[in-house]
Amino acid sequence: MIKEYYRPKTLSEAEQLFKMGDKKYVPLGGGSLLSRSKEDLCVVDLRDLGLNRIEVVGQRADIGATVTLQQLLESEFAHATLKEVIRKSATLNLRNQVTLGGYVVSADGRSPLAIALMAMDAKLIWHPNQETQSIGDWFSLRQPRGFWIHAIQLNLNLVMDYEQVARTPMDQPILAIAAARWPSGRIRVAAGGYGSAPLLVLDGPEDGGVIEAVRNALSASGDEWATAEYRQAVGQVFVRRIMDRISSGLQSK
């Protein structure tokens, strides 16, 4: 239950709240999750701190933490695959509300965009020290490197592709595989559709061994929604399809 709500107008005002340390202060993005919290919290609304901008510098996008998923979907750099992944991640009502920072913080293994961001090796920039944290590190430990996420950095100089299997087209994934390839040939593959966070399958200079990697990565993926045997089999199918598309240049940037 939210006990206290603050809406600072400046970064320093917000910092002061977190520095007080007398209560549990939590950054508030869109509120879609925290508004329902059963835990007693003091929330600090980040909306007036100017974090709702997307800046593209060269081959990098700096996405402010309070950019909503719908803003991201409508951004110029969001290609068809990324748009589709965002669509699968939340409906329009929620996309209008959910911020990217809030989404990343609360994502689990069944969150499509989180799986895609994992493949794209997104970076989290934390306030106040602008410390950078890879999204993989965040999902591994969930250890904040600051008071709040200031921005999420995306490398745009890569191709990303995504496949999922679900009961219906817009259902949560039972298994999802996302893969990104850099011009250097670097390949990074993430899996999801289960568990508490997306899983890194492979990050290497090339795609050699990726089929084995996905089979290994999914060997303990069984849960109440699917067996590991099934996920392993389908994971290999997805990786093959994605790699075929990426190699043939059929994937949009």
Partner 1 sequence: MKKVSFALNGIVQHWEVADGETLLASLRREGYFGVKFGGCEKGECGACTVLLDGKPVNSCSLLTVQVEGCHVQTIEGMGEHPDQGWKKTAGLHPIQQALVESGAIQCGYCTPAFALAAKALLEKNPNPSEEEVREAIAGILCRCTGYLKPVQAILKAASILRGEVDEQDWIEDTGVPLPVDWPSGADQSPAPAGDFGSPEKLVLTRRKVFMPRMFITPEVRQKTLSRVGKPELKVDAIKLVQGKPAFAADMEKRGMLIAKVLHSPVAHARIKHIDLSKARALPGVAAVLCYKDIPRVVYSTAGQSDPIPGPLDTFSLDSKVRFVGDRVAFVAAETEEIAEQALNLIEVEYEPLPAILDARDAMKPNAPIIHDEPEYVNFGESNPQRNLAAQIHIDIGDVEKGFEEADRIYEAEYVVPKVQQAHIEPHVVVTYWDEDDRLVIRTSTQVPFHVRRILAPVLGLPVKRIRVIKPRIGGGFGGKQEVLIEDVAAHLTIATGRPVLYEYTREEEFIAARSRHPMRIRMKTGVKMDGTITANEMRVLSDTGAYGCHGLTVTGNTGHKSMALYVGDGPYRKSPNIRFYADVVYTNTPPAGAYRGYGVPQGFWPVERHMERISRDLGLDPIAFRLKNAIREGELHPFSTAWSEGREPRPEIIQTVGLEECVRQGKAVIGWDQKFGNPEWHVVAGKPYLRRGIGVALVMQGTAIPYLDMGGASIKMNDDGSFNLLVGATDLGTGSDTVLAQMAAEVLGVPVDDIIVYSSDTDFTPFDKGAYASSTTYISGAAVVKAAEDVAEKIKKRAARMIKEQHPSVQVSPEDILLEDRKAIAPGGEYVTLAQVALNALHHTDQEQIMGIGSYYSPVSPPPFAAQFAEVTVDVETGQITVDRLVMAVDSGVIVNPVTASGQIEGGMTQALGYAVCEEMVYDQYGRAREKDLVDYHIFRANEMPKLETVFVQTYEPSHPFGVKAVAEIPMDGVAPAVGNAVLDACGADVFENPITPERLWRALKEKQSVADHH
Q: Which of 97, 134, 156, 186 binds partner 1 (CB under 8 A)?
A: 97
Q: Give least dist CB 123 to partner 1, A.
A: 28
Decide: 138 and 104 in contact? Cβ < 8 Å. yes
Contacts of 245 (CB under 8 A, 6+ apart): 161, 251
Q: Give least dist CB 131 to partner 1, A.
A: 28
CA distance 226 to 166: 11
Binding flag, residue 22, partner 1 (CB under 8 A):
no
Decide: 210 and 202 in contact? Cβ < 8 Å. yes
Residue count, binding to partner 1 (CB under 8 A):
41
Q: For residues 212-251, which are near partner 1 according to CB under 8 A?
A: 224, 226-227, 230, 233-234, 237-238
CA distance 72 to 113: 11
Task: Considering only the stretches 133-141, 148-156, 169-177, 179-187, report the one whose residues sit in contact with partner 1 under the rule CB under 8 A.
Answer: 169-177
Q: Give least dist CB 79 to partner 1, A.
A: 18
Q: Which of 56, 156, 166, 211 binds partner 1 (CB under 8 A)?
A: 166
Residue that the structure tokens 């679900």 belong to: 166
Task: Considering only the stretches 39-47, 122-130, 152-160, 207-215, report the one whose residues sit in contact with partner 1 under the rule CB under 8 A.
Answer: 39-47
Q: Give least dist CB 238 to partner 1, A.
A: 8
Q: For residues 47-86, which are near partner 1 according to CB under 8 A?
A: 47, 70
Q: Which of 168, 183, 248, 249 binds partner 1 (CB under 8 A)?
A: 168
Binding flag, residue 113, partner 1 (CB under 8 A):
no
> Which residues contact partner 1 by CB under 8 A?
1-5, 7, 28, 30-33, 35-36, 43, 45, 47, 70, 87, 91-94, 96-97, 165-172, 174, 224, 226-227, 230, 233-234, 237-238
